[in-house]
Copies of this chain bind each other. A is one copy, B any other.
Amino acid sequence: MTQNIFGQIDPPSRMLMGPGPVNVHPRVLRAMAADMLGQFDPEMTGYMNQTMALYRQVFMTENRWTLLVDGTARAGIEAALVSLLEPGARLLIVCAGRFGLLLSEIAQRIGAEIFTIDIPWGEVATLKQIEDGIVAHRPHVLACIHGDTSTTMAQPLDGVGELCRRHDVLSYVDATATLGGMPVATDRWGVDIVTGGLQKCMGGPPGSSPITISDRAADYIMSRRHVEAGIRSATTTDGIRARIASNYFDLAMIMDYWSEKRLNHHTEATSMLYAAREAARIMVEEGLEARFARHAAASRAMGAGLRAMGLSLFGSDAHRMTNVTGVLIPDGVDGERVRARMRDDFEIEIGSAFGPLQGRIWRIGAMGYNAAKHKVLLTLGALEAVLRQEGHNLVSGRAVDAALAEYGE
C-alpha cells in the first residue's frame, strides 16, 4: 500500500457550452450534499413519491409510472428497450443521427429484428415516412430520438402516438437532449415510453434517467414478470412472453419497487434521486413555458451571433433543437485548436462532432442552467476572439451585438 498522493476534488471552473454534460445548477449540487436515508424509511419513500409527481410535470403527462432508472441516460434507453423487446420482436427505428444508431446497437444485443427509416443527418422524418415504415415493416415497437445532439435536429412527434396506436405499435422516444429545454409532450404526442437524462437541459449531473411509461406499456411489461426462463416467444399476442433479459433494467421490478408494494430491488441511488428531485423542482418553480422560452431565446441569440461572425449553421432551419447549435467550421480553421484555445484561454468548452460530421461542425450548447444570456454572450465573444487569433478573416466583430439584438437590446 503506497501513500495517497491525490488531492481533493477541485475541478477548474469551466463553462460547459457543449452538447452536455453542462454546469449543474448550484441548488442541485447542494441537494446532493444531504446524507442518506434507509431505503424504506418513510421519509425516503416520500421523496420517491414526490419525485414521481414532479416528473409527471416535467414529462407533461398523467402517467402513473413516472420514475427514475439508476444510471446515466443510456441506462434509461436500455431499460426501455429491454423491457419492451422480446428476442425476435420487430423494432422500427427512425434513424437520423448517432443516437438512432445507438438504439439499433442496443436492440441488436436484445435479439430484436431491426428495421430503420434512414434520414440524412441534418434532416428529420415526416409523419408520412413513419407511417410508410410502419405499414411496410409491421413492427411491435417504434423508436425514435426527439433531439439528437449529433445532428442538433429535433424530430417533430405530434401525431406519432396516434399513428402507432392505430397500427397497434408500442412507441418509445429518447428525449435525453431535450427534456427540460423543449416541450417533451408525452401525453399530447400519445407515445408510450419516454426517457431522459439530467445532464443536459435539466441542469443536473449525469447518473439518473427519468422515465415515464403509459398504462398500456406498463401492462405489457408487467405481463413479462414471473415467466420461466426458456419459454420464449417473439409474439406479443399469444400470452407466452419471454422474461425481460436484464434484472437491473427490468422495469416491471423497478415499478414494483416504486409502487406502494415497495418490493425490494436495488437500493435507490439516493444522492442521484436528490439531484433529480431538485432539478425538477427548479423547473416547476420556473414554469415550463418560461423555461422553454429561455432556451429558445438563448438558441436564437447564439445562432444570430454565429451568423454575424460569417459562420453557417448546420442542418434544417425548421427543425433545429433550441438548446444546441451546430455550426460549420470554416475552411482553413483547425476546429480542435479552436476548441483547445476556448478551453485554455477562456475556460469555455464547446463540442466537437461524431461520425460524418466529425471535423465539420462544432456543437455549441446553451442547456439548463447554462441557457443564460450572459453565457451566450461570453461564448460568442470568446469564439470571435479565438477565430481572430487564429487568423480567420470572416469575423465581423459584431457577434455580441447581434445576439443582444435578439434579446431586444
**A interface residue numbers (CB < 8 A to B):** 1-4, 6, 8-14, 16, 18, 20-24, 27, 29-39, 41, 43-44, 47, 50, 53-54, 57, 70-75, 78, 82, 102, 105-106, 108-111, 199, 205-207, 229, 243-250, 264-272, 274-275, 277-278, 281, 284-285, 287-288, 343, 349, 354
Contact = CB atoms under 8 A, between A and B. Distances in A.
Given A35-B13, A106-B247, A248-B75, A6 B268 contact: no
Given A205-B269, A207-B207, 9 more contacts: A8-B278, A11-B43, A22-B36, A32-B32, A72-B268, A74-B265, A75-B248, A78-B247, A206-B267
A3 B286 CA distance: 10
A13 B105 CA distance: 45
Contact of A50 (B6, B14, B32, B269): B6
Contacts of A14: 37-38, 41
Contacts of A102: 247
B277 A70 contact: no
Nearest to A351: B38
Interface of A is mostly: loop
Contacts of A288: 1
Contacts of A27: 8
Number of copies: 2
A102 B275 CA distance: 29
A38 B21 contact: yes
A33 B30 contact: yes
Q: Which of A8, A50, A53, A343 has the most CB of B within 10 A?
A: A8
A109 B243 contact: yes
Contacts of A275: 271
A287 B4 CA distance: 9
Contacts of A53: 6
Given A11-B43, A272-B207, A284-B4, A247 B109 contact: yes
B78 A70 contact: no
Contacts of A43: 11-12
